[in-house]
Chains A and B, each alone.
Chain A
Amino acid sequence: MSVSSSSKVNYLLIPALIGAIGLYLLPGLASALFSFTDYNLQSLPRFTGLANYRDVITDSLFWHSIKISFFYTAFVVPTSTLLPLFVAVILSQVKNRSFLSIVYLVPMVISPVAQAFIWIWLFNPEYGLLNTMLNALGLPSLLWLYDTQTALISICFMSLWGFGVGTMIYVASMKSIPNNVIRMTELDGASFFKTVTKVIVPHVYPTILFIAALGFIQSMQVFYPGYLMTDGGPQNATLFHMLYLFRNAFIYNKMGYALAMSTIFAVFLMLLSYGSYRFYNKRRGVA
């Protein structure tokens, strides 16, 4: 590429850069600044130093909400990464897979609010489909969203509903594997399992990392199931970090406090992302 065409490309990046600065960097900086104030959305903020950070760190409910978000992430990231891979491998063996592809994508077309209400009914302890099925199998009913022991697991279980997008991404990624590579492994007598583990998985490894990273970020920021389905209950069993942040910001009007929570969380996520980035590069042999 010549110097002039390269500089044209650079100019074309300017709108995206303006968007990134205006919509992400500046609000991020403003959030960090307001986290040092008692901003309550209605009056002018006053500087309070590190008071919000001190309060957040000593707030047991903050750590509880972090724990809940981590538990959710620990469940959702591996399952939402590996389950679509498994389904995609099976799907790649099916010849006419258009119908199945549509079926897997349908849950993603439904809005999160509608999804939440569908699942509230599925989980209904008295009249829900899940308990009806359990009872038909001779198993006892569960309280699902209404029990501190099962509420979070129920929401984790619900999250698997959206594995269709991951499946489609894997299928697209697998299409880029040259046919002759697969054929050659078959000619060499490799079993299906070996083909998957030695050819397909290494080939789609960057996609796996991409889906895992995306899943991690989305899971840590999960909000709507707790907000719509349980309101953080029972007994704060589903009080996700984002839900607690939202309550502080918009229900208790403690915007400065909520922004301190957000800043701590953002730094934490950045450190984690940096760690995983270093780990990935190390595995690839990049210095």
Chain B
Amino acid sequence: MRIGHWIITLIVILFVGWKWEFFLPPDEEKSQSEIRLVFLGADAMRQPLEAKIASFNQGNPNGRIKLEIYPTGSEQKLNLMLATGQAPDIWATGLEKLPTLLANKSISSISNLIFDADLAGLLPVSETLAGKIQGELFAVPFLYNPIGLFINKTMLQECGIATENSRMDRTQFEEALQRIRQKKGANVFGCLVSYYFSNLLPWLWGSGADPFPAGEKFSNLDSPEVVRILTWLNTLIVQDGLLPNPEDVDRFGMPDYMLFKKERAAMFVGRASLSAQLKDADFEWEIIPVPGDQDIRTTNILTTVLVCRKQHEKDRLLGQSLKFLISPQFQDFFANFGVVVPAERNVIVDKYLIPGGYPPLEKRQYLLNLVEDGRLFVPPVHWDEIVDLVINPNLWKLYKSNPQEIEQICKNMAAHADAILRGENVGK
């Protein structure tokens, strides 16, 4: 009998613990006045972000934002939250996820929370890029990351290459590669070309090619412009040997910016956010537009948007929270943190772009130019799948093939990418 009593007591304790909320008065006020905001990012973001959110909370007696940060790459955690009805009120997500979230009714229109006037201060993006679908606003642009050509100015000047203009066309770029080869020999790579397709986009756009027209269910990966620029890159790698094959660069087992920082490469194409990694470089460097044909423009990638799970009882607070998150007051945090270009353009020229007064003013001006003039790339739906299954395997071939084979490789890429865009399974 004693054991029986123990078991009953244990069951009661377990029940009370399990359903503790049942014994508490309902807390409607709390749930209505709290916005759950989820970010995926480095843990180092936590403290400064919490400080920013705290400033919002202090100024808002009617409600507060509760911040949750999960490591970068934990998208599955977010997916599980959505799948189990635990979705946050606001969360940051890749723009390419937007159509899927919309199709699954995981997000709601925020047209009555954010108005065009609120978006006016944002970067000059079109309505579609601002998350507008069929006239309704579903997302707010949050983070951008322009791509440029990082140049080691000190090394280029040593090689007799003029850098005053901070611009190069493709002929000048080829000449620069030849001079670097003559002066520095085979120990220094002229420029690094990676397997990342996003790093190829500026080359493609610089030639007038648009490989993924926004909102379309087909790709232009086999357009004459794409074939032309990829053939040019292939010739520089395979025939002229002026650019290294990415496979040869892989043997260093380190990212492009590290090879650049160690002066093993004079130039590389990369996202502006990598500037933060080069703050303590021992040489003078600059970001310039990736060499194009005539009208030099550089790709700007819209990486992240803010979306909401709308709840009418929280609408007012949701609107306030969103406006706070896209305000310069909040966005300067990102400018300070990683040089990811934030949604608010004025921050780009803010003196706090990178702590310590780096980079110099002209670099910040360049970033501003990138954001204002550069084209904005919006990753299509199924982007991860297209990259993993189509683009990466074909880019591998691309850098090892003869120039005559490029057209066929591009046709294969386009056919497979189109199938994925139509929602078909493609396999290898």
- Name A residues whose Cβ lies closer than 8 Å to a Cβ of B: 40-43, 55, 58-62, 64, 120, 123-128, 141, 143, 145-146, 232-236, 247, 249-253, 257
Contact = CB atoms under 8 A, between A and B. Distances in A.
B75 A250 contact: yes
Contact of B427 (A58, A145, A235, A247): A58
Considering residues B80, B103, B425, B428, which has the most beta carbons from chain A within 10 angstroms of its beta carbon? Answer: B425
Contacts of A58: 425, 427
B80 A41 contact: yes
Interface string B385-403: 1001100110010000000
A118 to B, nearest CB: 14
B76 A250 contact: yes
A250 B77 CA distance: 9
Contact of A235 (B101, B106, B393): B393
Contact of B104 (A42, A123, A125, A141): A42
B252 A125 contact: yes
B30 interface: no
Contacts of B428: 59-61, 64, 236
Contacts of B157: none
Contacts of A120: 253
A209 to B, nearest CB: 36
A61 B427 contact: yes
B384 A251 contact: yes
Contact of A234 (B80, B250, B254, B388): B250
Contacts of B389: 61
Contacts of B101: 42
B315 to A, nearest CB: 23
B250 A127 contact: no
Nearest to B427: A59
A55 B425 CA distance: 7
Contacts of A59: 425-428
Contacts of A233: 392
**6 A-B pairs with least C-beta separation:** A43-B104, A59-B427, A250-B76, A42-B104, A55-B425, A125-B251
A146 B388 CA distance: 17
A140 to B, nearest CB: 12
29 contacts: A40-B100, A41-B76, A41-B79, A41-B83, A42-B79, A42-B82, A42-B83, A58-B427, A59-B425, A59-B428, A61-B427, A64-B428, A120-B253, A123-B253, A125-B252, A126-B251, A126-B253, A126-B254, A128-B253, A143-B251, A146-B247, A146-B253, A234-B247, A236-B393, A247-B384, A247-B388, A249-B76, A250-B76, A251-B75
A67 to B, nearest CB: 12
Interface in B230-284: 247, 250-254
B106 A43 contact: yes
A43 B103 contact: yes
Interface centre among A41, A125, A127, A143 (most CB of B within 10 A): A41
Contacts of A43: 103-106
B425 A60 contact: no
B382 interface: yes
B427 A146 contact: no
B425 A146 contact: no
A125 B253 contact: yes
Interface residues of B, number: 30
A195 B251 CA distance: 48
Nearest to B101: A42
A108 B388 CA distance: 32
A22 B43 CA distance: 35
A233 B392 CA distance: 10
A60 B396 CA distance: 18
Residue of A58, A61, A257 most packed against chain B (CB within 10 A): A61
Given A60-B428, A253-B100, A126 B79 contact: no
Given A234-B250, A253-B100, A60 B427 contact: yes
Contacts of A128: 253
Given A43-B105, A120-B253, A235-B393, 13 more contacts: A41-B83, A42-B79, A42-B83, A58-B427, A60-B428, A61-B428, A125-B250, A126-B251, A249-B76, A250-B76, A250-B79, A251-B384, A253-B100
A61 B416 CA distance: 13
B107 to A, nearest CB: 10
Nearest to A51: B425
A233 B194 CA distance: 14
B384 A252 contact: yes
B154 to A, nearest CB: 23
Nearest to B259: A126
Contacts of A61: 389, 427-428
Contacts of B104: 40, 42-43
A123 B251 CA distance: 10
Interface string B49-85: 0000000000000000000000000011001101100
B111 to A, nearest CB: 22
A42 B382 contact: no
Contacts of A251: 75, 384-385, 388
A115 B396 CA distance: 29
Report which residue of A42, A126, A250, A252 has the largest number of chain B beta carbons within 10 angstroms of its beta carbon.
A42
A253 B381 CA distance: 11
Given A41-B83, A43-B106, A235-B393, A257 B251 contact: no
A127 B264 CA distance: 14
